[in-house]
Structure 1
């Protein structure tokens, strides 16, 4: 039988560039599904604009089946806010996209059980979409459109805090909100997570006289101080 560490290692390559909330959610999902006897693997995480455009071309201008309706910049994968999953088979090497498979023999489809666990963690599931269904897809959008994300808008501190609290169960690992000051004057609010301070970078940077821009292709926040 595969150990939890072995199962986790299969997804490690796709998790590094995810938004911290998505990283926490994906890790929790892998662990929860493993506890149900359903090992899963994350097959997609952060995608570049070029990678998204290549997927969009599939079934249109290149060979293969159509797998997405989103052009580059129009997918939540491009911002680290989405993942795709599949079932990891007992040999630890093969992957299954069989949505009716019942590998843990509990008379319930493993795929549906994964989707239900994901939704408990705050993910939206592509299998619930009414038009183009994407059964492998999970995302957390924080109410933001891809147009807003392209313009550099990010989830608020409170949204991140609430999402982590849901993922952590009670939210006990997240410290209460804190105040960020400059020379004794409040400039924004933030929170502490495992000893790390999270605060809106724009508020802090502008208080220090810097301008902020966002490069969605490389997922880079640029600070420039004249």
Structure 2
């Protein structure tokens, strides 16, 4: 699958290793009926504060602020969907792409206290 121009634009300012993993996941995507888009990469502090106030984020110390995180939305027939099984599929593709690119990533869906299916980030201990 090909990333849209909007998705590519949303990768501006994101760490090149994470961009490489996202692009590899898109290139390796096999299912023509499903896919994903990039909904957000680099985020300003003002945007982060707003998301925290809405309850969409739990922190002001987000990896989005430094370009070390992306949010991806699963699509079916080109429409964004939030069904959890789609995010398991997306995570599997992202983890395989990251492994192939030798890029360590953390998936928000693996978190214990706040499951965040669309979120992928580079580990803090390896990327400052």
Higher relative contact order (CA 8 A, sep 6+): 2
* Alignment check: 8 A CA contact 1:30 1:41 kept: no
Long gaps (5+) in structure 1? 59-65, 101-109, 145-153, 156-226
Q: Tell me the CA shift for residue 10 of structure 1.
A: 4.2
Distance across 2 between alignment mates of 1:112 and 1:119: 10
Work out the number of aligned pairs and report it.
Answer: 121
Tell me, yes or no, if structure 1 residue 82 matches structure 2 residue 69: yes
What TM-score, normalized to structure 1?
0.49
Q: Which has the higher strand share?
A: 1
Long gaps (5+) in structure 2? 99-103
Report the counterpart of residue 56 of structure 2 in structure 1: 67
Report the counterpart of residue 14 of structure 1 in structure 2: 10
The structure number with the bigger radius of gyration is 1
Q: Which has the higher helix share?
A: 2
Distance across 1 between alignment mates of 2:124 and 2:20: 15
What TM-score, normalized to structure 2?
0.83
Q: Tell me the CA shift for residue 115 of structure 1.
A: 0.6
Deviations 1:7-60 (A, max 9, x none): 433412211111111111111122223x244311011111011111111111xx
SS of the counterpart of 1:39? strand
Distance across 1 between alignment mates of 2:87 and 2:58: 23
Name which of 127, 130, 144 aligns with 2:112.
130
Distance across 1 between alignment mates of 2:83 and 2:65: 26
Distance across 2 between alignment mates of 1:25 and 1:142: 17
Name which of 34, 40, 50 aligns with 1:54.
50
Q: Counterparts of 1:1-226 in structure 2 under 5 Å? A: 4-5=1-2, 7-33=3-29, 35-37=30-32, 38-58=34-54, 66-71=55-60, 74-90=61-77, 92=78, 94-100=79-85, 110-120=86-96, 121=98, 122-143=104-125
* Alignment check: 8 A CA contact 1:46 1:78 kept: yes
Deviations 1:53-81 (A, max 9, x none): 111111xxxxxxx211111xx00000111
